[in-house]
Amino acid sequence: MEKKIVKTENLSFKLSEIPLTKKGLKNLLNYRIPCLCCGLEMLHPDIYSKLMLKNELSGTATGVIHILQPLENIMHPVERQVFNMFKSMSAKYPDKNFKELLLLKKEVHELALVKIQSAIFNKISFYRRILPKNVARQLRKLMIKTNDIIFDPVPHKPFSRKIFINKIKNIIKNVENKKLKEEILEYARRLPRSSDEVCAFVVKNTRKPSNIIALNLIHSAVGTFEHLQPKCMNGMNNSLNFALECSYCNNSRHHFPITVQIEENPFMPQNAQTQIEKLISLYRRGLCKKEYIINLKQILFTLSEGIIDLDTTRLNY
C-alpha cells in the first residue's frame, strides 16, 4: 500500500493509510463533539443544510423561534443573546420577522458599536506620531475616510472590519519595527465582529434577509474540517491534516499558525484535551479510529511547538 506522507516545515511522519475518510470524520459530528479550539458543542453540517431549505425561516419570528428552539443549546454566546432578544420582542411584535425586529434595535446598537470602534480608531491614530512620515500620512487618510463611514448614519458603503485590517496591513507592511506593526494590528483585530458583540451582530444583520439572520444564529456552531497545516502551506486535504472545529474558530484562524490561534484562545490546549477524550470514548464504541487520534496528537504537538500535549493514555485501557 502506498505510504501517505505529511510534510510541513516542522513535521514529517508516515502512516500506512488515511485513518478516516471525510465521510467518517463528518459522521463523528453526530455525537456532540466539542470544538478543538473553543470547546463548544458543534452542529452537524447536514442539519444546517436542511435548515437552509426551509422557507419558514423568512416568516414571523414566532414561527422561526419554534424551529430554532431545539438548537439554542449549541448557539454561541452572542447568537444566544440575540436569540433571547428575539424571543422577548416576538411576544410584543408577533407579526414581525427577524429583520423587522432587528431594525427596531438598529439605532441603539449602532451607537454602541460606533463608540467601541471610535475608541479603537483613536488608539490606532496615536501611532501616526511615531511612524515614518509617509506611512503616517497614509494612515491619516485611512482613518479620516473610516471615521467618515462610521459617523455617517447612511454611508455609501458600510464599514468592513476585514477590509480595514487588510488596508492597515498594506500601509504598515514596510515598517521595520515588527513590534510596532504587531501592536497596530492587535488594536485593529480588537474591532468587534458579529460573533463577538451583540451590537455588531445587530448592525451587520439588519442588511440581510430574515432567513439569513436566522441561519446566522447557528452558523458559528456548524462543525467544519480545520486544516491544521493550512492548504496554502501545502497542508494535505485529508484526515491526516484535519481536526474538527466550529465554523467560527475555523474562519477566525485564517492562515495563522496554531501557536497564534492559541495566543488568541488560551484555553485551546484544555479544549483540545476535552475533544480527544470524546474521540477516545467514540473509539471505545467502535466509532472512531485509533490511528486518527494518535495522528491528531502528534500533529498538534508539533504544530503547536509542544504547547498542546494531549494525554491519550485511555486509548490503551
Convert the pLDDT of each residue in 82-110 to its tens digit. Answer: 999 999 999 999 999 999 999 999 999 99
DSSP 8-class letter at 227: E
Q: Tell how strand 12-15 and strand 223-227 pair up.
A: unpaired
pLDDT of the residue at 305:
96
Structure confidence by residue, pLDDT tens digits, 204-244: 999 999 999 999 999 999 999 999 998 888 888 899 999 99
pTM score, two decimals? 0.85
Give the contacts of 6 (CB within 8 A, at least 6 positions apart).
12, 13, 14, 15, 229, 236, 240, 241, 299
Please identify which residue in the block is written with the cell numbers 426551509. Answer: 54
pLDDT category at 316 given cuts 50, 70, 90 is confident
pLDDT at 1 over 50: no
Which residues are bridge partners to 243 per DSSP? 226
Listed residue (261, 270, 195) closest to 228, CA to CA: 261
Q: Tell how strand 4-7 and strand 12-15 pair up.
A: antiparallel
pLDDT of the residue at 7:
42
pLDDT at 317 over 90: no
Structure confidence by residue, pLDDT tens digits, 264-310: 899 999 999 999 999 999 999 999 999 999 999 999 999 999 999 99
To the nearest 10°, report the CA torsion of 222, 227, 230, 232: -80
Of the listed ranges 75-79, 185-189, 252-256, 262-266, the least confidently predicted one is 252-256
pLDDT at 195 over 90: no
Q: For all residues of the chain together, what is the average pLDDT?
A: 92
pLDDT of the residue at 231:
83
pLDDT of the residue at 16:
54
pLDDT of the residue at 15:
52
User: Other C-beta atoms within 10 Å of 262: how many?
Assistant: 18
pLDDT of the residue at 48:
97
Q: Kindly state the percentage of the chain with pLDDT values over 70.
A: 95
Please identify which residue in the block is written with the cell numbers 472590519. Answer: 161
pLDDT category at 4 given cuts 50, 70, 90 is very low
pLDDT of the residue at 275:
98
Task: Give helix 210-219 / helix 77-92 axis angle, nearest 10°.
Answer: 140
pLDDT at 10 over 80: no
What are the CA-CA distances from residue 265 to residues 35, 212, 260 (Å)? Answer: 12, 28, 9
Cα gap 73→84, rounded to integer Å: 12
pLDDT of the residue at 232:
80
